[in-house]
Amino acid sequence: MANLNLDYLATFRLVVSRGSFSGAAEALSLSQPAVSLQIRQLEQALQVRLIERTSRGVRPTPAGLTLVEHSMKIDAVVSTAVESVCLHSDEITGTVTVGTGATACIHLLPPLLQQLRQAHPLLKVDVRTGNT
């Protein structure tokens, strides 16, 4: 049985949905060769061609369509598993969005964010600045 990399499966789904390696690369903030390498390694692991290159971009082969279908289910199961496991954690997780003016962002937030990050390393903080 082949070992499948979940990130490669997500990249593969993005290549298919965007219809190109470059579109997926842009969405993932990766280079196009890095995306191509992930797809090539996925094809090698499964020993089947997943993507067909056309004059208009790419399209999945029949095996690729099957993998897209199953990888969406895999992604859903993994997400559910992670959420279920996280329920057993006492750690605070999630994303907090903080809106502030530029002065507070420069002078007040850095030490507070550092304390918050040390106390709750799994918490993501999104800082938005604007005129107040």
One domain for residues 17 and 76: yes
Q: Supply the range of the domain harboring residue 118.
A: 94-129
One domain for residues 38 and 98: no
- What band does 64 get if pLDDT is binned at 50, 70 and 90? very high
The C-alpha atoms of residue 85 and residue 100 are separated, in whole angstroms, by 34
Q: Give the total number of structural domains in the chain.
A: 2
One domain for residues 106 and 65: no
Note whether residue 118 is domain-resident.
Answer: yes
Angle 49-55-58 (CA atoms, 0-180°, nearest 5)? 35
CATH number of the structural domain spanning residue 48: 1.10.10.10
Find, among 91, 101, 100, 102, the residue nearest to 124 by Cα: 91
- What band does 44 get if pLDDT is binned at 50, 70 and 90? very high
Q: What are phi and psi of 56, to 5 degrees?
A: -105, 5
pLDDT of residue 99: 87
pLDDT at 26 over 80: yes
Note whether residue 49 is domain-resident.
Answer: yes
Note whether residue 44 is domain-resident.
Answer: yes
The C-alpha atoms of residue 75 and residue 17 are separated, in whole angstroms, by 15
One domain for residues 109 and 82: no
Average pLDDT over residues 24-48: 95
One domain for residues 75 and 53: yes
Q: 3-state DSSP call for residue 56?
A: coil
- What band does 132 get if pLDDT is binned at 50, 70 and 90? low
One domain for residues 12 and 73: yes
Query: Which is it for strands 57-60 and 94-100: parallel, antiparallel or unpaired?
Result: unpaired
